[in-house]
Structure 1
């Protein structure tokens, strides 16, 4: 147990008010308000160019806001330089000193501040990141994950009120990245300070963060607990960016506790509480359903499907076996290319391309969105890097 772990949560809250950033004619971050509770693990999630890193840099003092204020623990720090703010940042590159061993890398900040007795604090930090046995190795003798933990220890030893993490796992392979997600969450829980983590990786954000803010084009699209964002997205961008969603345009034919819909010649039901858009008879609604919520049944067995489930007829266009599950693409009169993920427990050998099937799901697992939105928003083809590249170009031109 380190010196950090005294009370349950000794972090500092972060509050952004009307914060924005423009590089010439390019607006990287539109005015936004954001509150990060003290002692929480908070993630800014979005594609390249969405403004998440610029927002983090404004908290750190590395970028000057065009408008708005930054408060840490109720104190306005907007005009303070980075070295006077009670924050430390861990970058993707780690920026370890190659000529110093791990012990001296971690001790660097203390020695720079003139602290003479560093052994106890350095030993505590190395124990926290489980690298006590590696103290006298050089950074190049460690794995990427171990180097990342050294960078975290070096930042934490300065006892910041807030730790900022800018894509810290981006250079790691998938298996190591998943291990480090759990490690970072363990460290944050143990030290109890506020972590703000920037990432483009949806799984990373949902695994570690208490609260996730999904950013899109310089704005916060939706913010909340990971499960809430996944189960009840409010926009097509969030529905598509967090995992995969099937979005089906349907006509509203009845409203009440349940919204009654018609798509092609099929009727569907959606609980009114699952609609984020106002459902009006005669208008359209996007019905969303996650691929893993759908069950595929061969058409010959359609009579075995329980009453009360939404169902659509279709034909399998493609199937891909990926070990834990089989992923299908199904064409239906309601929509083409519907995704279905079926866990590989008792596979039906008849579910092959060309087979006629029925897709069915519990109405409570669907969600309703405004049909005026772009159905493809948030998909890989729709999330590019133009904004960030334009912002970087504008910043370089101004310097």
Structure 2
């Protein structure tokens, strides 16, 4: 049999032919053998069958196996053969349609498996004591961070916190003044960016504006112009839903589309680690977050993401590293940062609506709990997260999340604080209410029916087991 690109076991056509045959209950060779025999028998019994283009193709010498199946759904021989294997009581058309659907599903699974085998974005990155100074100011200060293989780590912080600089350091685009960057056990601190196998999806400005999407993606693997590299690029384009914009220029794309093009450029170099900076993006990038989540579901790559969107970091990341002024405030799983923040800064940054902070007066302690007063709430006993000793500073404030503030009748004996409703933001059956109290402003969440209306007096109960205590320097007690 002559060589042909359709013989490639990874070609889409070969897989389609193979999977359709399998869906009908045959392997490709058995299917083809019965297919050819059926056509031969039909031609012998009825010479008029030879008027069929499909039958002529089928019986022609030297025709490739895959080409013989190219018109599989229209070929009379196929239909006649299918009638012999269709379960009794089943409709032939429905059976073939179902077989085709199963074949397409298997084909997609095979293509995903092939893509997974081609991409191994499973690097492990470790930053040890990394410091970067600009004009004698540390924009990254003694940073220690490790990201395990297959993990998504989000660098979370406001503008100027150093998250984007950390990404550039990992990528090799920014030098370090102190410390080291280790990828899969190899110190890459002094290795140029192009030799690190680290793909950076940074600002959309990195796309070349005068090139089409197709040309931008192709330029990323210009030194690897092999059939394998092109096949990989084609699969990535389909995975990222870029087929319809390949001839467009970056200026005509949405922010999310430009980011997906940048992501495609990153993937085609077959990296060990994927870096993604969402800071420069404007507008709605929700579809982009979905793409990142889908990419991780499909391929499980090691990813480091820089963002100021705590909600998306909480939703997407396996671990979050919170930075402020170039220093790590806390690193941990999203639920740990939410439930057990190490300091007031992390407590205020994680969660929306933001945690309430109320000033307190310390009345004493019992060794593992503080006795506090909040705006007249006497003898409020709150457990400490850590053992209390002579060196423990006095509490400065307590924090409580809006969902842990209960609203009741202000005249009820159970009301610990009372206040006036300032504003209500309703969302169906639930609502967020802002209340002015003697202790300060308090935000609560709950059922809309319990919120009243602006100007109403309302009572509050603070769930003791959900209170966080903070010292004057902001650390959690």
Match of 1:206 among 314, 318, 341: 314
SS of residue matched to 2:206? coil
| Matched residue count | 359
Please give the root-mean-square deviation of Cα atoms over the aligned residues, in Å: 2.8
Match of 2:460 among 359, 369, 373: 359
TM-score (norm 1): 0.81
Ranges in structure 1 where 5+ consecutive residues have no aligned partner = 306-310, 376-399
Measured at CA, do residues 49 and 278 of structure 1 come closer, stay the same or move farther in structure 2, by a change above 3 Å? farther
User: 1:218 is matched with which residue: 313, 326, 339?
Assistant: 326
Determine the structure 2 residue equivalent to 1:321.
425
* Range with bigger deviation, 279-288 or 101-110: 279-288
Shift of 1:142: 3.1
Q: Give matches, 1:200-349, under 5 Å.
A: 200-243=308-351, 244-250=354-360, 251-255=362-366, 259-266=370-377, 267-272=379-384, 275=385, 278=388, 283-300=394-411, 302-303=412-413, 312-323=416-427, 325-333=430-438, 335-344=439-448, 346-348=449-451
Note if contact 1:9-1:38 (Cα within 8 Å) is conserved in structure 2: no
Q: Paired residue for 2:469?
A: 368
Q: Which residue is equivalent to 1:25?
A: 136
How far apart are 1:230 and its partner, in Å?
1.5
What whole-Å deviation, never above 9, does each CA across 1:357-395 have from its counterpart, x for those lacking one?
A: 2211432222222234399xxxxxxxxxxxxxxxxxxxx
Separation (CA, whole Å) in 2 of partners of 1:278 and 1:53: 38
| Deviation string, structure 1 residues 36-84 (Cα, Å, up to 9, x no partner) | 1111111111112122222211111111111011000110001111111
Alignment CA distance shift 1:99-1:183 (3 Å):
same
8 A Cα contact 1:292 1:341, kept in partner: yes
- Give the match for residue 11 of structure 2: none
The separation in 1 between residues aligned to 2:139 and 2:180, in whole angstroms, is 16
Q: Quote the residue 2:186 is aligned against.
A: 75
Give the 3-state SS of the residue equivalent to 1:147 in structure 2: helix
- The structure with the largest strand share of the pair is 1
Higher deviation after alignment, 277-286 or 36-45: 277-286
How far off is 1:162 after superposition? 0.8
Take 2:115 and 2:175, find their aligned partners in 1: how far apart are those partners?
A: 31
What is the distance in 2 between the residues matched to 1:328 and 1:113? 58
Out of 289-298 and 78-87, give the one that drifted further.
289-298
Aligned-partner Cα distance in 2 for 1:293–1:93? 41
Whole-Å separation in 1 of the counterparts to 2:387 and 2:363: 12
Measured in 1, the distance between the counterparts of 2:329 and 2:447 equals 31
Counterpart Cα distance in 2 of 1:145 and 1:92: 12
Q: In 2, Cα distance between the equivalents of 1:2 and 1:140?
A: 34
Q: Would you say 1:113 and 2:224 are equivalent positions?
A: yes
Instruction: Choose between structure 1 and 2 for higher RCO, CA contacts under 8 A separated by at least 6 residues.
Output: 1
Q: Which moved more, 1:92-101 or 1:1-10?
A: 1-10
* SS across alignment from 1:80: coil
Residue 171 of structure 1, aligned match among 281, 305, 312: 281
**The residue matched to 2:271 in structure 1 has which SS?**
coil
The 1-side partners of 2:115 and 2:145 are apart by 26
- Distance (Å, rounded) in 2 between the aligned partners of 1:177 and 1:133: 19
Query: Equivalent residue of 2:416, what SS?
Result: strand
Query: Which of 157, 175, 198 is equivalent to 2:268?
Result: 157
**Which whole-Å CA distance do the structure 1 matches of 2:225 and 2:184 have between them?**
26
